[in-house]
Amino acid sequence: MPPLRIDVTAAAGAYPIFVGSGTLQVLPRLLDAAGVGSRRIIVSSPLVWRLHGDAIRRASSEREPILIPDGERFKTTTTVGRVYDALLERQADRATTIIAAGGGVIGDMVGFAAATFLRGLGLVQLPTTLMAQVDSAVGGKVGVNHALGKNLIGAFHPPRLVIADPAVLTSLPRREFRAGLYEVIKYGIIANPALIEQIASARPALFSHDAAVVSAMVAESCRIKARIVSSDERESGERRVLNFGHTIGHALEAVTRYRRFRHGEAVAYGMLAALALGVARGVTPPAVLEQIQDLVSALGPLPSVRDLPGREIVSLVGHDKKVVKGTLHFIACTGLGATTTLTDVTEKELRAAVKAIGIKA
């Protein structure tokens, strides 16, 4: 079957997301149809290239890809500098398109390199993790981490197209696949409760990588994000809803130096904390918190947080990107599929929310 096409509107022009099992097999045709120039340089990680390089290499006439380390702790300007060096060695010019093949970290770093090298090169996102397929590859946000916070250095650089092939997800470790499911739960909380029901009822099919079930879940997540970012590309309003669970989640990643959690795991904790804060505020129904707690627990264990410094986590929230003119824009759930933005969250409330997920604050 031909891949499903979802269109995203961006200031630089609309771009498509193609979702379909086996899409990598028609990768060159999709790139040609999208008008991507013939000079294409692939940037990936050693692991992704070992697993999927044979299928991906057909997208480029270059003999070898640029390979860089993967993982949040490598998501730095130093690693991006290695991409710049390789692009200079290969004499990349403004007609060159960069193909980011990998998970969310690779997509963010390579996207940032594409946004800044020669003041902007064409970019294609080829996500190979569930997290990247349902979230980070879509929307044009690219960047790297800083010791004080996640993605504090970055840009908006929409891709020419996104190609999501759920078939590649069969190579993911179960923990990595679960990490992506937490991000899908986020979409269920903020926009479409049916996704939550789907995960709850179809766990065996999801973990056995049923092509139809996984593809439908990826496509719906992409539809939700495409709709939101098309109406608010630069996160001045509605797009902030996508940060549900990320405020405290990003602080958890930063305080552990990006070594303990998969991004989705930190977001899972962040969502539970946000729901607990909302319940304490009286804006979130307690039944919603209980339902999400049960679902997160049913998916599998999360790394422990009991030894983490609560006060430092609360302090790091103050460095989050969602702080604008000294005001934290905190997304709270008012019911499955509905949210509100709180601009008066206190330090005391944040400490209580952190305590609710098992951290001494």
CA distances from 196 to 118, 185, 191, 193, 225 (A): 43, 6, 10, 5, 16
Q: Is residue 319 flagged as an active site residue?
A: no
Catalytic residue among 150, 178, 243, 265: 243
In a domain, 336, yes or no: yes
Boundary residue ending a domain (122, 153, 172) = 172
Same domain, 292 and 265: yes
Task: Establish whether 243 is a catalytic residue.
Answer: yes
Catalytic residue check, 235: yes
Q: Are residues 103 and 120 in the same domain?
A: yes
Nearest to 125 by CA among 143, 112, 138, 109: 138
Highest mean pLDDT among 69-73, 234-238, 264-268: 264-268
Residue 250 located in a structural domain? yes
30 band by pLDDT with thresholds 50, 70 and 90: very high
Confidence of residue 11 (pLDDT cuts 50, 70, 90): confident
* Of the candidate ranges 87-91, 102-106, 145-149, the one whose mean pLDDT is the lowest: 145-149
Tell me: do 149 and 201 sit in the same domain.
no
Question: Do 201 and 156 belong together in one domain?
Answer: no
Confirm whether 215 is domain-assigned.
Answer: no
Say whether 325 is catalytic.
no
- Report the candidate in 139, 122, 136 with the shortest Cα–Cα distance to residue 43: 122
CA distance 304 to 311: 17
Using the structure block, give the residue that is written with the tokens 């294609």: 124
Whether residues 8 and 156 fall in one domain = yes
Catalytic residue among 52, 57, 263, 329: 263
- Annotated active-site residue 246? The verdict is yes
- Out of 186, 239, 321, 329, which one is annotated catalytic? 239
- pLDDT for 77 equals 96
The residue from 40, 52, 57, 141 that is catalytic is: 141
- Are residues 135 and 46 part of one domain? yes
Residues 119 and 191 in one domain: no
Q: Are residues 163 and 265 both part of a single domain?
A: no
Distance from C-alpha of 230 to C-alpha of 191, rounded to nearest angstrom: 15
Residue 17 resides in a domain: yes
Task: Check if 225 is active-site.
Answer: yes
Q: Is 250 a catalytic residue?
A: yes
Nearest to 101 by CA among 84, 133, 70, 126: 126
State whether 108 and 196 are in the same domain. no
Instruction: With respect to residue 221, please indicate whether it lies within any of the assigned structural domains.
Output: no
Question: β-strands 161-164, 15-19: how paired?
Answer: parallel
pLDDT band at 236 (very low <50, low <70, confident <90, very high): confident
Q: What are the pLDDT digits (tens) for 321-361? A: 566 556 888 999 999 999 999 999 999 999 999 999 999 86
Question: Which of 115, 29, 10, 39 minimizes the C-alpha distance to 18?
Answer: 29
Q: What is the pLDDT of residue 62?
A: 83
Give the mean pLDDT of 46-60: 94
In a domain, 181, yes or no: yes
Whether residue 106 is found in the same domain as residue 200: no
- Pair 155, 69 in one domain: yes
User: 225, 240, 262, 329: which is the annotated catalytic residue?
Assistant: 225
- Indicate left, alpha or beta for 337 from its phi (over 0: left) and psi (-120 to 50: alpha): left
* Structural domain total, the chain: 2
* Phi, psi of 180, deg, nearest 5: -70, -35
Choice among 72, 220, 233, 235 that is catalytic? 235
263 is catalytic: yes
Residues 333 and 240 in one domain: yes
Smallest Cα–Cα separation from 294: which of 185, 214, 192? Answer: 185
pLDDT, tens digit (0-9, with 9 covering 90-100), for 126-157: 999 999 999 999 999 999 998 888 888 999 99
Active-site annotation holder among 57, 250, 262, 321: 250
- Record the pTM: 0.94
Distance CA 129, CA 110 (A): 15
Q: Percent of the chain beyond pLDDT 70?
A: 98
pLDDT tens, 267-299?
999 999 999 999 999 999 999 999 999 999 999
Domain that includes residue 317, residue range: 175-209+233-356
The answer as to whether 315 is a domain residue is yes
Contact between 209 and 169 under an 8 Å Cβ cutoff? The reply is yes
